[in-house]
């Protein structure tokens, strides 16, 4: 199943959210602390975090949050459409295309959306953005919310026709109004971006809430960050943790890292170091450099788990390759015996697939 290309605003991820995650640290070295802020006080067994930014940060290059694929929902009372969708799900794209073409000729908007999807992603047919745009437009005019969302994405990127951000915003708003969580999430991002739409954190929070209530994990994570920092909503650590937990259950790695930190510190939830470390392990194995760095710290210092310097420093070396180094852990690595250091380095190379 192909994924729609992310809209340009997704390249900045979440303006406040992305920066908040990037700044999470376990007793960060003094060199990493912001010059204008006082060094946060920490207690033993506490994961310290840098202060949140007070000014609206500018867009920066950050990992692109995942965007849901447009999957036209079949009408349960129409077995013909079920066949189209079923063939698509099983990867029989040419069959899906042939069936959808017949159904589209009768005016079926779901079949039209499917044809747009197939043409846009070269599934069973040669990629053709112009044809994809045409089919999405027909289905959108027929009231299909998935087609509206897909068409909005293409309008934003200028695929199949020159970019038209104003039209894209209208389509996202219409799709969101019809209950499409992906549209609500992306529209919220545009309100955060402040370029296509006036920057409005309160409106973004409302849209994130709509998508979060529909089960969108990226929106749950974004709204959690808003509640944690008091951005666009009243500050509420308990609600933040509740949303982080929901997003974590959907395997949102950024949410797993933040949820682990909340559990470790007992912020907005009862303190549970064992569960926190387990969550950090999960996120670290999913290749989150931040989780790898924090896991290294707790293992090296025996916080919430038995001390294991070799395993901890293995994760430190792995995180360091992604730019998440830590001078304190470098110092711990230097203290190891040559034999133990060789074990840590070998384990890191094995994980990284380096000989």
For residue 332, what pLDDT band results from cuts at 50, 70 and 90? very high
pLDDT of residue 355: 79
pTM, two decimals, is 0.77
What CA–CA distance (Å, rounded) separates 195 from 86?
40
For 73-93, how does the pLDDT look when each residue is reduced to its tens digit (9 = 90+)? 444 445 554 799 999 999 999
pLDDT in tens, 170-213: 999 999 999 999 999 999 999 999 999 999 999 999 999 999 99
Query: What is the structure's pLDDT at 82?
Result: 77
- 113: Cα separation from own chain's centroid: 25
Give 32-55 pLDDT, tens digit per residue.
333 333 333 333 344 434 323 333
Average pLDDT, whole number, for the chain? Answer: 83
Share of the chain above pLDDT 90, in %: 75
Residues 207 and 201: their CA atoms lie apart, in Å, by 10
* Rg of the chain taking only CA atoms, in angstroms: 23
At residue 30, the pLDDT reads 37
Write down the number of H helices and E strands in the chain: 17, 0
Report, as an integer, the average pLDDT of 212-230.
Answer: 97
Residue-level pLDDT at 354: 87
Long-range contacts from 24-28, C-beta under 8 angstroms, 24+ separation: 24/49, 24/50, 24/257, 24/258, 24/261, 24/290, 24/294, 25/49, 25/50, 25/293, 25/294, 26/293, 26/294, 26/297, 26/298, 27/297, 27/328, 28/326
Residues 6+ apart with CB under 8 A from 232: 201, 202, 203, 204, 205, 206, 226
Question: 277-280, long-range: CB within 8 Å, 24+ apart, which pairs?
Answer: 277/303, 277/304, 277/305, 279/248, 280/256
The arithmetic mean of pLDDT across residues 100-126, rounded, is 96
């Amino acid at each position: 199943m192909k994924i729609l290309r992310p809209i340009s605003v997704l390249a900045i991820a979440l303006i406040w959210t992305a920066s908040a995650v990037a700044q999470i640290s376990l007793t960060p070295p003094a060199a990493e602390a912001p010059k204008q802020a006082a060094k946060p006080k920490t207690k033993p067994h506490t994961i310290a975090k840098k202060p949140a930014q007070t000014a609206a940060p500018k867009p920066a290059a950050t990992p692109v949050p995942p965007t849901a694929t447009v999957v036209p929902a079949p009408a349960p009372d129409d077995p013909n459409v079920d066949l189209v969708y079923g063939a698509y799900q099983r990867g029989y794209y040419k069959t899906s295309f042939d069936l959808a073409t017949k159904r589209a000729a009768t005016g079926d908007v779901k079949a039209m959306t499917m044809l747009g999807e197939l043409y846009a992603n070269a599934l069973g047919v040669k990629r053709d953005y112009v044809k994809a745009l045409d089919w999405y437009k027909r289905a959108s005019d027929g009231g299909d919310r998935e087609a509206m969302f897909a068409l909005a994405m293409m309008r934003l990127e200028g695929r199949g026709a020159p970019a038209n951000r104003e039209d894209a915003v209208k389509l996202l708003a219409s799709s969101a109004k019809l209950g499409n969580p992906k549209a609500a999430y992306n529209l919220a991002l545009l309100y955060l971006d402040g370029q296509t739409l006036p920057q409005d954190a309160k409106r973004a929070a409302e849209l994130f809430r709509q998508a979060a209530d529909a089960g969108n994990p990226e929106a749950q994570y974004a709204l959690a960050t808003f509640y944690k920092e008091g951005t666009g909503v009243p500050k509420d650590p308990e609600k933040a943790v509740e949303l982080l937990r929901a997003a974590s259950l959907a395997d949102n790695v950024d949410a797993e890292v933040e949820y682990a930190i909340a559990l470790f510190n007992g912020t907005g939830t009862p303190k549970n170091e064992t569960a926190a470390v387990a969550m950090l392990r999960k996120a670290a194995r999913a290749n989150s450099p931040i989780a790898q760095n924090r896991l290294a710290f707790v293992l090296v210092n025996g916080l919430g788990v038995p001390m294991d310097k070799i395993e901890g420093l293995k994760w430190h070396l792995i995180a360091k390759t992604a730019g998440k180094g830590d001078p304190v852990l470098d110092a711990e690595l230097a203290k190891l015996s040559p034999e133990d250091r060789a074990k840590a380095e070998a384990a890191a190379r094995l994980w990284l697939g380096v000989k």
